Amino acid sequence: MTWRNPEFELGGVNHLALVSSDMRRTVDFYTQVLGMRLTKTIDFPGGSGQHFFFDMGGGNSLAFFWFRDAPDAVPGVSQPVTVPGIGEWTSAVGSMNHVAINVPEERFLEYRAKLKAKGVRVSPIIDHDDSPEGYATELHDGVFIRSFYFQDPDGILLEFACWRREMGTEGDVSHAPKTAADRIRVS
CATH architecture for the domain at 83-167: Roll (3.10)
CA nearest neighbour of 96 among 15, 166, 174, 181: 15
- pLDDT tens track of the chain, all 187 residues? 577 888 877 777 878 899 999 999 999 999 999 999 999 998 988 988 898 989 999 888 999 989 988 888 887 777 777 777 777 777 766 777 889 999 999 999 999 999 999 999 999 999 988 888 888 889 999 888 999 999 999 989 899 999 988 877 777 777 778 777 777 776 6
Class of domain 12-71: alpha beta
The burial of 65, by beta-carbon neighbours within 10 Å (0-12 exposed, 13-18 middle, 19 or more buried), is given as middle
110 φ/ψ angles, rounded to the nearest 5 degrees: -60, -45
In the chain, which residues fall in CATH 3.10.180.10? Answer: 12-71, 83-167
